[in-house]
Amino acid sequence: MNTFRKLSAAIATSALLLQSTVSIAAADTTPTVTGHDTTLVISGNGAYSDNDIDVDKTNFTTVTQSNTANVSNYVSGTASTGGNDANYNTGGDVAIVTGDAKSDVSVSNELNSNKADVNTCDCDGDVKVKIAGNGAWSDNKVDLDTKNVTTVFQTNDAYVTNYIDADAKTGGNDANGNTGGDVTILTGNAKTNVDVSTTANANIATVGGGTGDGNSLKAIISGNGAYSDNDIYLDFIRDTLLVQDNYANVYNWVDADATTGWNDANYNTGGDVAIKTGDAKAYVDIDNLLNFNSADLDCGCALGGKFAIKGNGYNSDSKIDLDRTDVVKAFQDNVDWTWNDADADAKTGKNDIKYTTGEADSDPLILTGDATQNVSVDNASNMNVFGSGVTHHFPEIDVDFDFDFSGFWMWLTHHQSSN
């Protein structure tokens, strides 16, 4: 009986644990790991030797990203050149001339972005396991276990309230009870612009970075002596869990008024009486871009194989056992509660000329400008993308949706470059 020696090797790398316990008799039992390449060899050992290689490679990665945003914007904007009075004057002309009134309100909310690049696939590169040239009645075993567990949690909660009251007024002018001369009310233009933009809740997850392109597995049992017992056990397990969750509660209340009307020129005596208003324009633009999930969980760990049991001695017992498990679980969930209440009014009317006494050939005149109101509401929400082709560069993606999600990519690219 040969004398046995025990060799124990512990190799630790970042998030990686290798444990090797080898019994050798006379020749070579060599586990080596270079980068992602693994070579395990039991060879040239004597008769009756007992040789074992046991390697456990375990990698656990957990990423948790969570954002909660509570935003309340209360904006009141008023521009007024109206509300002027010229009443009860005697002699000469009476005129009210107003300038333009313009109210601009812009509210932009950019909230809650998670981005995770998890480069921990730990794809095995070239794996070579060999039991060869060992003596009769030898007991040889290689046990290689590779386990890679990746868990990513990304959660966003956004609560947004935009309350906006914008008024532009040049009207509401009075020229009443005047005697003598002409009476004129001339208003400028009134314009309100309200722009509300809310972009919230985006999750981007990429689990990749493995170096398994073109890798190969070779498991060989050859040239071992009679009655030898030779076993190779290979377990490759990858378990990936991704949870992406978005909740958005957005309430937009917008009241936009543009008024050049409501002018009075009443009870005037003598001369011409005229009211001429400018244009009234009210614009409201509400844009909500909410709840976007994108996941690419393809490590690319293709593992080709070559297996051989050949040339072993009489009554030898040889076995290669390969177990490869790849479990990917992805949960993408979006909830959107959006309420848009927009009231836009453009008014040039409600002007009065009453009870006036002018020259015999004079005529009261009311001439109003144009009244224009435009309301635009765009809601794009709740989109999930799963699969390859989405990289950290955030390119445009081809998805069969009626919505334009290019704004998400622009926003995410901006946040990536600023971070």
Buried b (16+ CB within 10 A) or exposed e, 355-372: ebebeeeeebebebbebe
Q: Where does residue 8 rank: exposed (0-12), middle (13-18), buried (19+ CB within 10 A)?
A: exposed
Got the DSSP string for 269-287?
BSS-EEEE---EEEEEEEE
Please give the structure tokens belonging to residue 225: 């002596």
φ/ψ (deg, to 5) at 158: -130, 125
213 near 303, Cβ under 8 Å?
Answer: no
3-state class (DSSP) for residue 411:
helix
221 near 311, Cβ under 8 Å?
Answer: no
Domain count, the chain: 1
Q: Which residues pair with 302 in a beta bridge?
A: none
Residue 200 parent element (H or E):
strand 190-207
Q: Which residues pair with 249 in a beta bridge?
A: 159, 337
pLDDT value for 146:
85
Secondary structure letter of residue 27 according to DSSP: S
Count of beta carbons in the 10 Å neighbourhood of residue 44: 17
What is d(CA 231, CA 2) in angstroms, rounded to the nearest whole number? 21
Q: How do beta strands 303-310 and 215-222 pair?
A: parallel
pLDDT value for 354:
87
φ/ψ (deg, to 5) at 375: -125, 125
350 near 264, Cβ under 8 Å?
Answer: no
What is d(CA 344, CA 279) in angstroms, rounded to the nearest whole number? 15
What is d(CA 406, CA 96) in angstroms, rounded to the nearest whole number? 50
Task: For 250-299, write each residue's pLDDT tens digit.
Answer: 999 999 999 999 999 999 898 889 999 999 999 999 999 999 998 888 76
Please give the structure tokens belonging to residue 152: 């990513």
CA-nearest of 67, 63, 72, 40 to 53 is: 40
Lookup result for tokens 């959107």:
336
pLDDT value for 388:
55
Please give the structure tokens belonging to residue 200: 């919230």
Q: Which residues span the domain enclosing 397? A: 5-418
Question: pLDDT in tens for each of the 419 residues of the chain?
Answer: 332 222 222 222 222 222 222 222 333 444 444 446 788 898 999 899 999 999 888 888 889 999 999 999 999 999 999 999 999 988 888 999 999 999 999 999 999 999 888 876 656 667 889 999 999 999 999 999 988 888 999 999 999 999 999 999 999 999 999 998 899 999 999 999 999 999 999 999 888 755 444 467 888 999 999 999 999 999 988 888 999 999 999 999 999 999 999 999 999 898 889 999 999 999 999 999 999 998 888 766 656 677 888 888 989 999 989 888 888 888 999 999 999 999 999 999 889 988 888 776 678 888 999 999 899 998 888 888 887 544 333 333 333 333 344 555 565 566 555 55
pLDDT value for 120:
63
3-state class (DSSP) for residue 407:
helix
What is d(CA 249, CA 234) in angstroms, rounded to the nearest whole number? 50
pLDDT value for 302:
58
